Homo-oligomer: A and B are copies of this chain.
Amino acid sequence: MSVNGRVPRYQQIADALRERIRAGELAPGARLDNQRQLARSFGVTLMTLRQALEVLERERLIVRRHGLGTFVAGPSIDYDILHLQRFAGDLQAQGERVETRFLACRFTLADRRAAAALGLGPRARVLVVERLRLVDGLPVSLQRSFLPAKIGDEVVRADLAATPLHHVLEFKLGLVIQRARETVSAVRLGRREARELGCRQGAPAFESERVSFSGGGAPVVFDRVFIPGDRFRITRELQYEGAIA
């Protein structure tokens, strides 16, 4: 709101739509009226209406699909970064169901960051395993695991559609992950990631990059996980030995 109290029309429209969503008039997944129609019903131009939608999109309340429509976004989830487990905030009461969908497994050349994280030379050959995690049928994260070719040659023999990767590493290869280093940053989804996650290209997402080490200290796997920004919040529990920063 400006100093003199004037609220831009596009904010008023965003507020009105937000309230409809909040009140449940527009359920998650519901499609809004098309943009031209909404513009007419609010008495503004398409441009102004689209600015309102951009506000809601940035707040993760809606998603826009080119050629398809504008939809109310689904609920978000918490990611307990310390305990490495995911639990749903408002999904838990709904009794969510988590599943992992195996997407692909192929040898390729490592990109720069994957190669660096695994201590490999540039463009080293690696195995990429790609999985989608879904909660109640809704994709919440896309995970790509890069393994050095030496490990990959063994992993690829397993039935990755039926066996979790870390089980393969631990029980078939005797590689127990002892340590990991993870970095989470905010990114925009690329076309392929967006498609798998049911988002639009360029949608903001958290990108987690984690390199995991075995007991011997060698990097075993480099994971790159995309989690749409509207489905993720970081929570952690801490213990201290002394004073805090």
Interface residues of A (CB under 8 A from B): 47, 58-59, 78, 81-82, 84-86, 166-167, 170, 176-186, 188, 204, 212, 229, 233-240, 242-245
Q: Is the CB of A244 within 8 A of B47?
A: no
Of all chain B residues, the one with the shortest Cβ separation from A242 is B176
Q: Is the CB of A233 within 8 A of B179?
A: no
In angstroms, how far is the closest chain B Cβ from the Cβ of A142? 16
| A183, B81: Cα distance in complex, Å | 10
Residues of B within 8 A of A179 (CB): 237-240
Residues of B within 8 A of A237 (CB): 179-181
Q: Is the CB of A240 within 8 A of B178?
A: yes
| A235, B58: Cα distance in complex, Å | 24
Residues of B within 8 A of A182 (CB): 235-236, 238
Q: Is the CB of A243 within 8 A of B176?
A: yes
Of all chain B residues, the one with the shortest Cβ separation from A241 is B178
Residues of B within 8 A of A238 (CB): 84, 179-182
